Amino acid sequence: MAFASWKTRMAALGMVVAVGVTGAACSSTTSSSTTTTAAGGGSGGSGTSSGRTIPASAFSDHTGITATTVTVGNVSTLAIGGLFKGALVGTEAAAAYVNSTGGVNGRRIVVVGADDAYSGTGNRLATQNAVNSDAALVGGFSTFDSFGGQVLAANPGVPNVTQVLDPATNKLPNTFSAVPLEGGWELGPLYYFKSKFGPTAIQHTASVVADLPSTLADWAGEKYALQQAGYTIVYDQEYADTQTDFTQNVIAMKNAGVKVLFIDQMPEAYASALLKDLTQQNFHPEVVLGAAAYTHSLIAASGGPAAVNGSYLDQNASLYLGEDASSIPAVATFLHWVQVASPGFKPDLFTLYGWLSGELFTQALQNAGKNPSRGSILAALGKITSFNGDHIVTTSNPVARTTSNCYLVGRVVNGQWQRLDDPPIDGPTNGYRCDHAYVTPPSS
């Protein structure tokens, strides 16, 4: 299985379509071929401006739109045991929720799922089919999204509201992500852990990172931030997507005197294997987990609570698996509609991505007028400069492709995920820590 960059991005990704929207200037050029939409955007919704172009023909393109329905395509990897099935389920859940309220301007959202069969060719073909038939692509997730990205580049009038991994696809004017791919890291959690672990421990830091282009690019951003915060990395090793035994990595880290281990880019399948091997070698550095390891099954897959207790969690989303359900209404709504869409399904990070993408698309569709087109949907997307899924995740700017400096810190205690030292959820930052800056490497 191949996984890519999900760093600390998830923190409060939730449900309700009550996200914040700031005004954006929209102006038409004199050209007969394009309309330019400019929207203000920087980290968290303020700062530099970002322009996007929309082909004029898109405003008369009603593909996938009827008087009663709007059909969207979801291209995800459903092969290999339903690898990213959560992305489809989350998108279907968001549509089911909206449809339960009467849809958008009298139209139901219909989600058509396609499996790229874990291949570039499959992703390209499925994306082309969606371009031919659907109003937009919404909520898909695949490590082969660069292939579909080539199709989208050739069809700039087709909205793409997905969680992208490919940098080139991320830069397309018709791509919008609820949790943008920005290429850096928050300094806040790194200073937090620095204060927890002490100045000596952070001079002996390690990480194990998947040998995938998108993950390595993400690690470059995190590594830069770690160095800015005063950490010294003594072990930095890549692993293949076929690796299941991390014993040699553990022994090497033990010999190198590692005291702090960041595996916040490791998905649960790999993180659990590494945690098992740490236990077997009786090696117990401070461990920092990330969004893709925050799952229902990590603790059991790692060998039980003893293997995970004390590990920290760093992410940009709430505890959306259920721990925050009583305090963040969006979490409870998300979990309910996931069960409506797929009874018995255990949501994961990719389910949340699908849900958020569905929310972002729905908000644009609501603002695209009573006779929406692909062009009017793109224009509406170009005005959404603040999004947080009603605080199920931290606030981002989908137009400028920027995230905020906010994050959540958690820890596993007695086999349970718990918040740690976070502000009150009913406070001004909605339960997230928002100290220090978000930084990107100079080359980003």
Token pair in block for residue 2 = 């191949």
User: In 3-state terms, what secondary structure has residue 330?
Assistant: helix
Shared domain for 127 and 223, answered yes or no, is no
DSSP state of 8: T
Give the amino acid at 263: I
Alpha-carbon distance of 290 to 315, in angstroms, equals 6
Shared domain for 218 and 174, answered yes or no, is no
pLDDT band at 86 (very low <50, low <70, confident <90, very high): very high
Residue 18 lies in a domain: no
Residue 131 lies in a domain: yes
Residue 79 lies in a domain: yes
**Among candidate residues 377, 396, 385, 328, the one with its CA nearest the CA of residue 163:** 396
Token pair in block for residue 37 = 């939409």
pLDDT at 201: 98
The answer on pLDDT for 42 being more than 50 is no
pLDDT at 444: 55
When mean pLDDT is compared across 88-92, 171-175, 218-222, 254-258, the lowest value belongs to: 218-222
Residue 2 lies in a domain: no
- The mean pLDDT of 75-82, rounded to a whole number, is 94
Question: Which positions ≥6 away from 81 have C-beta within 8 Å?
Answer: none
When mean pLDDT is compared across 3-7, 65-69, 244-248, the lowest value belongs to: 3-7
Distances, alpha carbon 353 to alpha carbons 140, 330, 373, in Å? 8, 14, 24
pLDDT at 214: 75
pLDDT at 27: 28
Q: Which residue has the tokens 């603040």?
A: 386
SS (H, E, C) 363-420: HHHHCCCCCCCHHHHHHHHCCCCCECCCCCECCEECCCCECCCCEEEEEEECCEEEEC
pLDDT band at 215 (very low <50, low <70, confident <90, very high): confident
Shared domain for 294 and 217, answered yes or no, is yes
CATH classification at residue 273: 3.40.50.2300
Shared domain for 301 and 159, answered yes or no, is no
The answer on pLDDT for 387 being more than 60 is yes
Shared domain for 146 and 225, answered yes or no, is no
Question: Which positions ≥6 away from 154 have C-beta within 8 Å?
Answer: none
pLDDT band at 115 (very low <50, low <70, confident <90, very high): very high
Shared domain for 64 and 212, answered yes or no, is no
- The mean pLDDT of 4-25, rounded to a whole number, is 29
- The mean pLDDT of 248-263, rounded to a whole number, is 98
DSSP state of 124: H
The answer on pLDDT for 16 being more than 80 is no
- The mean pLDDT of 359-378, rounded to a whole number, is 98
Shared domain for 200 and 313, answered yes or no, is yes
pLDDT at 217: 83
Question: Structural domain of residue 102, as residue ranges?
Answer: 26-181+332-381
Residue 144 lies in a domain: yes
Shared domain for 204 and 87, answered yes or no, is no
Shared domain for 169 and 62, answered yes or no, is yes
Interval 178-198: pLDDT, tens = 999 898 999 999 999 999 999
Q: Which residue has the tokens 């098992």?
A: 276
Shared domain for 297 and 354, answered yes or no, is no
Residue 308 lies in a domain: yes
Residue 116 lies in a domain: yes
The answer on pLDDT for 396 being more than 80 is yes
pLDDT above 70 as % of the chain: 88
Residue 391 lies in a domain: no
- Count of the separate structural domains present in the chain: 2
Cβ count near 31 (within 10 Å): 10
Shared domain for 155 and 205, answered yes or no, is no
Number of Cα atoms under 13 Å in the Cβ half of residue 270: 25
Question: Which positions ≥6 away from 393 have C-beta within 8 Å?
Answer: 10, 11, 12, 13, 14, 178, 179, 316, 317, 318, 352, 356
Shared domain for 268 and 133, answered yes or no, is no
